């Protein structure tokens, strides 16, 4: 399923999120939920496309994130 969204996140910001995740900074959150909260995605209008990220964990969340967001 391809997305028609053109969302971008700086690669350095994503790598910082991954570092924080690895350190356990998002205790009691799923990977996708932590990503959603960390980047304040609740502020975006198209929540339907992001719902899958919030609910996903692990590799599934990672695949969804990299499908929806362009790292630059």
Q: Is the pLDDT of residue 70 over 60?
A: yes
Q: Is the dihedral of CA 58, 62, 63, 64 positive or negative?
A: positive
State the Cα–Cα distance between residues 37 and 16, nearest whole angstrom. Answer: 14
Indicate whether 37 belongs to any domain.
Answer: yes
What pTM was estimated for this model as a whole? 0.88
Query: Domain count of the chain?
Result: 1
- CA–CA gap between residue 65 and residue 72 (Å, rounded): 14
Task: Determine if residue 24 is left, alpha or beta; phi over 0 gives left, psi from -120 to 50 gives alpha, anything else beta.
Answer: left
Is 2 inside any structural domain? no
pLDDT digits (tens, 9 = 90+) for 18-51: 999 999 999 999 999 999 999 999 999 888 878 8
User: By percentage, how much of the chain surpasses pLDDT 70?
Assistant: 93
Domain extent at residue 22: 7-71
pLDDT category at 1 given cuts 50, 70, 90 is very low
Query: What is the Cα–Cα distance from 3 to 53, expressed in whole angstroms?
Result: 13
In a domain, 51, yes or no: yes
């Amino acid at each position: 399923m391809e997305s028609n969204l053109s969302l971008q996140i700086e690669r350095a910001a994503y790598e910082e999120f991954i570092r924080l995740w690895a350190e356990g900074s998002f205790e009691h959150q799923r990977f996708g939920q932590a990503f959603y909260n960390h980047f304040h995605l609740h502020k975006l209008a198209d929540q339907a496309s992001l719902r899958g990220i919030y609910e996903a964990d692990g590799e599934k969340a990672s695949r969804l994130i990299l499908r929806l967001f362009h790292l630059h």
